[in-house]
Amino acid sequence: MPELPEVQTIVTGLTQLVLGEQIQTVCFYRDNIRFPLLKSWKKSIEGQRIDQIQRRAKLIIMTLDQGYLLWHMGMTGSLRLCSSDEPKRQHDHVEMTLSCGRILRYHDPRRFGYLKYFKDEKKLLDSFAHYGVEPLSEAFNEQYLWQLSRGVRQPVKNFIMNQKIVVGVGNIYACEALFIAKIHPETAAGKVTKKSYKNLINSIKTVLQTAIKQGGTTLKDFENAEAKPGYFQQALQVYGRKAQPCLTCQTLIKTVKLGGRNSFYCPNCQ
DNA sequence: AGACAGACCTGTGAGC
DNA sequence: TGCTCACAGGTCTGTC
């Protein structure tokens, strides 16, 4: 599920809905998701106010008045705000009752996501130490990608999905951006020219910005903070379209496994 | 060091 | 209808 646009969609929604709210009670319905949910966090979090909600990479940072909540949605996670009478669903693992009476619920069937609590900003920042640049920032440009990729034999698709290089680009948007830039996903990253990287940078930025505008991509179970789906899936040109005609040239879309992930491409355009 | 496979989980859909 | 199998948006760990 959540790549950068989906996480951004949740952050934007939650910012409008819960900023300034006090977290009155915290309930962990299990003692771990991907990582342990420490019992001691409950007391620390209760009573704190939500001052700010931000995104870094695919992570959601909630700044409280005396600490930080760091959420990762994994593959199937979602955070949504429910009314007080809405019953808990299967796979709701964490819930926080807010001063407005509504309940913030973390739902994650596969439990690949996580929640961490930090008192200390330094420890929070350590979580991001190994991350690459933000794809929508100016630091993400063709010179940056071109320089880092010299000598790299790894396929370019794996290269742009490497969070140490650039954050937030997952399987869907990597496939879409490579299609728009007309680059075959298996091309060695070190063999891609500076000019092609310029096209790729532009297509990554465009595809992410368009997806954010449309509220993300809903394939199966993505929903935003108000439990609404995204609409970007209607704009997907190659992802999920195996054996269907390319929208540009009618050649049938093919797939190849790269880094264990299915990669969709047009053998003619790319 | 870099690149890959496998692991973590559950739900869904295809095929028999 | 009901079973089994492959596969799914991410990332961490271990191994070569």
User: Is-catalytic flag, A89?
Assistant: no
Please choose, from the candidates A47, A58, A53, A51, the residue with its C-alpha nearest in 3D space to the C-alpha of residue A25: A47
User: Is-catalytic flag, A3?
Assistant: yes
CB of A261 nearer than 7 A to strand B: no
pLDDT of residue A229: 74
pLDDT of residue A220: 61
Comparing every residue's Cα with the C1' atom of nucleotide B10, the nearest one is A110
Residues 176-235 of chain A within 7 A of strand B, judged by CB, are 220
Q: Output the six-digit token pair for A164.
A: 């140490």
The angle formed by the CA atoms of residues A85, A221 and A266, to the nearest 5 degrees, is: 165
Share of chain A above pLDDT 70, in %: 97
- The tens digit of pLDDT for each residue in A69-87 reads 999 999 999 999 999 999 9
Please choose, from the candidates A89, A97, A76, A88, the residue with its C-alpha nearest in 3D space to the C-alpha of residue A26: A97
Query: CA-to-CA distance for A62 and A23, rounded, in angstroms?
Result: 12
What does each of the 270 residues of chain A score in pLDDT, given as a tens digit?
588 998 999 999 999 999 999 999 999 999 999 999 999 999 999 999 999 999 999 999 999 999 999 999 999 999 999 999 999 999 999 999 999 999 999 999 999 999 999 999 998 998 888 899 999 999 999 999 999 999 999 999 999 999 999 999 999 999 999 999 999 999 999 999 999 999 999 999 999 999 998 887 766 656 677 777 777 777 899 999 999 999 999 999 999 999 889 999 999 999
Nearest nucleotide (C1') to alpha carbon of A261: C8
pLDDT of residue A126: 87
**A70 touches A126 (CB < 8 A):** no
Query: CA-to-CA distance for A167 and A127, rounded, in angstroms?
Result: 13
Q: What is the pTM of this model?
A: 0.94
